[in-house]
Structures are given as structure tokens and as C-alpha cells.
Chains A and B, each alone.
Chain A
């Protein structure tokens, strides 16, 4: 029983990260139809930059975190404004390849400039672990889940209450219609990229104390986040969150009961199963294509 609870805890922890990736990915996808393969790199950059800033340049935790977020957001904006927006005539697959290129670029620069070692960050809160009835809970894990919850809630409130947020929803629902009522599509999508990058870097900073980050961690994060988004469905706002958590739980239980070596493969198998069984996500409603 304790083992099961332990697995649930670790599954939710890791799942919270995947949920954040899924949310960031969905934000961009719904507003612009772009499949951002570089989503995972936002997390990687956040963690790596903050870690190196502290270790090599002696900056304090808050300053390093702020710096990391700023640089990541700049990267996200550059990706859209310099890469994707100019490539207007490109097909969706060409844009996907563009984001793959951006992901490679980020990874390459990170490995060359920041090094190939794993990077560490200190915990957010002073305690190390809590023990509740035989279950060991890392405090940072709680910070991750709480942080993710706060971020997603803030996003939700922003999208439904703030005027700018509603503009994003409008563009997501009907791009031409939104433009016709005066919403600047480029500005809105730039904002989505910036927000997505911000969510990513915050997530990376929260996660690094437990998971450690290296230049390489972005790709699997992106794939698992995408799996979460597919599982939950991009139609409903809470879909990606539930999907991400589910992926985390499945991974934890898979690692616990089946094999920890192939735990990454488990997420991939889940992805394939989702494609096979629920092509439009578990929570999405069916739709018909008009000819």
C-alpha cells in the first residue's frame, strides 16, 4: 500500500511537469495551429540557465531564476518573430521542421556554451522531505505540484478574465474572425509564445532540484508533454493538465512494476496507444470534416 502511495506521489510530481509542458504546448497550438517541437527546450533553458547562473556566476537564486526566465522568453519570442512568422507560406509540416530546427539549435547552443553536465538548483523551500505515514514526500515535489497548479490557474484566470487573455481565446477559436474585430494576430501569438516560454522556464526551474537538467532533457519532455496533450485532448482547457498527470502516473507505475530502464519508452507506447484508440483525445468531442 505504501508503495502504491509512493508511486502516486512520484507520478503526480513528474506528471505536474508534463502537465505544464502540455499546457504550454496547447496554448501555442490552439492559437496558431503550430506544433512547437521546441516546447521542451523552454524547460531545459530555464533550468540550465538558472543553474549555470548560480554555479558559475554566483548569482542568487531569485536573480538567476529571473534571468533564466527572461532569456527563455526572448528565445520563445525570437522563435516566433524571426523564425515562424516570416515563414508565412510554409506548410504545417515545414513549420514543424522549423521548430525541430529551433529545438536542435537550442540544444546545440546549450551543450556548447553551458556544457554537457547535469545542472543543479537548490530547493525552493528549506525542508527536505516530509514523512506522512511511511510515505516519503520530497518537499520540492510539493513545490512542483503547487507551482504547477498556481501557474495553470493563473493562466486560466488570465484567459477568461483579462482582455488580452480573451483575445488569445478569440484567435484560437477563429483567427480570421478575431482579426476582423481588430485583434492583432501577430501580437497575440507572440504573447502565446512568450507565455509558453515563461511557463516552461518556471517549470524547468521548479523541476531541476529533483530531476536535474542537462542540455538533452528537452526532447523527451516535449514528447511526453505532447502525449499528455493528446491524451487529454486540446479541446477542453483542463484536458492537457489531466493528460500530463496521467502520463506521469503511468510512467511511475510502469517504472515501479515493469521496468525502470524502459520508463521513457512507456510514455511512447502510451502515445501510440492514444493514437490508435483515441485519435482526438479522451475528452474531445467528435468532429466531421467539411468538403
Chain B
């Protein structure tokens, strides 16, 4: 029997194009009902599924250079779906979906032990220390496709999985079983005014992400594109977010501590 080919949804972010404007962050917040607080300036406590970091080359003026690095969940595949967070979750609140390659997060299953936060090398997971409260009337802007998370649980980027489901629903309604590349795009990809983010199926050679990332499946998806790198690749997390940069110091920075922006 024919098995449908598994997908590996992934992202390529061209750091040469990224302007650090923050549209991806805000698109994500609006799409995914991310709560906000009166004082969100402590970025360790502020919830953002997508965060733009600022990298510096460490040189002094005027040789100083900066580069911006948007960081969604990296959707690690590890070895056969053993992503760092999935392996430690005692509640099966987070899981690696072999059909899509997406690391899910089910808020209603999570009981807030935060093992996953400790395990994640990328700080993509954030804890709801407070009840999400919207100013009077603003809760009208909430998106019904994404559940609002309450105090005491962990949340993170889902590659806008609800958009995948909606796109599939629409395709099924038309009698199709497969999606076209443009039908499933994350909110950040869609919003990026510089066209820096590309999203699609890394397993599909026709998709732009595949062409840009040139993943080498024999070597855990390592890119064959000399401009491309992944964050902390040496950890073997086998992430599905690839970054492109023409600057060497930026590519090197992908493997050391990042500074927040």
C-alpha cells in the first residue's frame, strides 16, 4: 500500500535580507493570541514565540557590525524525532509529529513542570507566570483557531499548525489530498516585508526551502549551501530552521551564545 510521503516542514531565514523590523514577532503574537503585560521589558519573562535577536561582531566603532536573527521554534528532529523537549516531557504535552516534522505543544496537557524549558537549547519555550489578561474589549481581537493559554503552562511556536489544518480542510473540501506550497505558510513568513523568511516542505525538492537549505539527509539534514547554517548544529538537534548569511562572523555566531535584542 502506498504510504503518503512524510513531510518535513521547515524554514529558511535569509539574514542578509532580514532588517530586524520585528514584523514576524508581531505577526506571530497577533496570530497566536500571545499575551502581553504592562511591563514586558524583562525579555526572560516576556512571552514571544518568535524573537529577533541582535548579533554583534564584537568589534569596536566603526568596525562594529550587527545582524538580526529571528528565532522561532527550531522544530528539532534529533535522531528519529527525539527532540530535546519531547524526550523529557512527562505529560506528552509536546510531541514530534513524524508526518509533518512539527514539534507540537498541547496546552491542555501541559502541567507546567518546565522540564522542556530546561531541555531546549534555543530558549523557544516560555512559561505563563501570569494569567493572560487583555484590556477591556481587546479580547475581541483573539483568534479562535488558537487556544488561549492560561497561567502555569508552557507555550511555544507551532509553525502555525492551525494554518496547516485550515489549509488541509480547504484542500479536502476541494477534493485534494495534498497542499500547494503557498497554501500553508506561517504568519511570520507571510508578514515579513523583506521577504527574508521562506517556509515549506524540506522533503519536497520543488519547494523553495529545499532549494535554499539543500538538506543532506544522509548527514542529519546538514545544509550543502555554503551560506547556510543552523543554530548550535553541533548538538545534533537536527533543526528544521536554516539561516543564510553571506557574512562569516554571523555564520560562526550561530554556534555560540546569542545576545538578546
A and B interact: no
Interface set of B (CB-CB < 8 Å, partner A): none
